[in-house]
Amino acid sequence: MEINQIIDTIYPLTTPSKNLIKASITETTFPKGHILFKANKIETSIYFIKKGIARAYAYSEDHQITFWFGTEGDPIVSMQSYVNHQKGYEDVELLEDCELYELKIAQLQKLFLEDIQIANWGRKFSELELIKSEERLISLQFNTATERYLALLKNHPSIIQRVQLSHIASYLGITQVSLSRIRANIK
């Protein structure tokens, strides 16, 4: 997904404001398996996925719990680092070779002070991330595993084809055996 489309999806900007953000963005690539963010570290950049897929996870005892997937157009951000300049709690792993747009948080903060439209863009960016987190929490609290799987299938069908079943099961809060049963019942 191209950067113009990603920026406009968050909040449409005038051409001069959009050009200011674009001038601060660099393109970068990383291979499949690369750990982009590490827990207990302050992240200095946010990324937008041009091509590829990523997952965020945290450790619970001896296993990883996946709580987020990102595909083309999605931001990769440690909200603790972005908002509070504190260490994040998540690791972010790239599940495919990825092409990313990188934006340094310090540069974005500087742009917020210089351009009210970019400041509004940043506010909208944070609001959209908050809504995604809220929807995820509500889904985990009130929907069955089957309902969560069907929602993932409906809203993000490419994830089912591109991500290991163990990561999908973890994301849904179930075992891989339970996921296999759900998939068998749906067919």
pTM: predicted TM-score of the whole model, two decimal places: 0.94
How far, in Å, CA of 147 to CA of 131, rounded?
19
15-52 tens-digit pLDDT: 999 999 999 999 999 999 999 999 999 999 999 999 99
Q: Which domain holds residue 12?
A: 3-142
- Answer whether residue 184 is part of any domain: no
Number of domains in the chain: 1
- Answer whether residue 17 is part of any domain: yes
Residue 138 has pLDDT above 90, yes or no: yes
- Answer whether residue 91 is part of any domain: yes
Long-range pairs of 120-127 with CB within 8 A, sequence gap ≥ 24: 120/11, 121/7, 121/10, 121/11, 121/13, 121/17, 121/21, 124/10, 124/11, 125/10, 125/11, 125/75, 126/82, 126/83
Quote the mean pLDDT of the chain.
96
- Answer whether residue 168 is part of any domain: no
Residue 164's pLDDT band (boundaries 50, 70, 90)? very high
- Answer whether residue 70 is part of any domain: yes
Residue 121 has pLDDT above 90, yes or no: yes
Average pLDDT estimate for 153-174: 94
Residue 187's pLDDT band (boundaries 50, 70, 90)? confident
Average pLDDT estimate for 63-78: 96
Given a contact cutoff of 8 angstroms between Cβ atoms, the answer to whether 28 and 88 are in contact is: no
- Answer whether residue 147 is part of any domain: no
Model pLDDT, residue 62: 84
Model pLDDT, residue 33: 98
Q: Whose structure tokens read 């742009």?
A: 111
Say which CATH number the domain at 20 has: 2.60.120.10
- Answer whether residue 186 is part of any domain: no
Write the DSSP assignment of 59-109 as a string of letters.
Answer: EETTEEEEEEEE-TT-EE--HHHHHH----S-EEEESS-EEEEEEEHHHHH
